[in-house]
Structure 1
Amino acid sequence: MPQMAPLQWTSLYIMFSMIFFIIMLINYFWFLTSPINISQKSKMKMLHQMNWLW
């Protein structure tokens, strides 16, 4: 693995955005496969409202 000293801001931004995107995908698919409880139904409503806002 090369040294981390000459790392640029663009590569740092790309790396952290990819890590964030992978984490969001894992959370999304885990949320789809998880059983729906009463508390998760309210989370579903909040997610739908946030999707409409976005």
Structure 2
Amino acid sequence: MSNTVEIKVPDIGDFKEVEVIEVLVKVGDTIKAEQSLITVESDKASMEIPAS
């Protein structure tokens, strides 16, 4: 059984929106705390977003 989990993107500056440029997990993967889930990019930086 899968559950949908909301991911909160940390503040990376004065941006209301950031683009998801890479998804680092697949459907059905077991996710551990602090494992990188996605990579986001703004005009000035990119960063990996970990699981809480």
| TM-score where L is the length of structure 2 | 0.21
Q: Which has the higher strand share?
A: 2
| TM-score where L is the length of structure 1 | 0.21
Structure number with greater CO (CA < 8 Å, separation at least 6) is 2
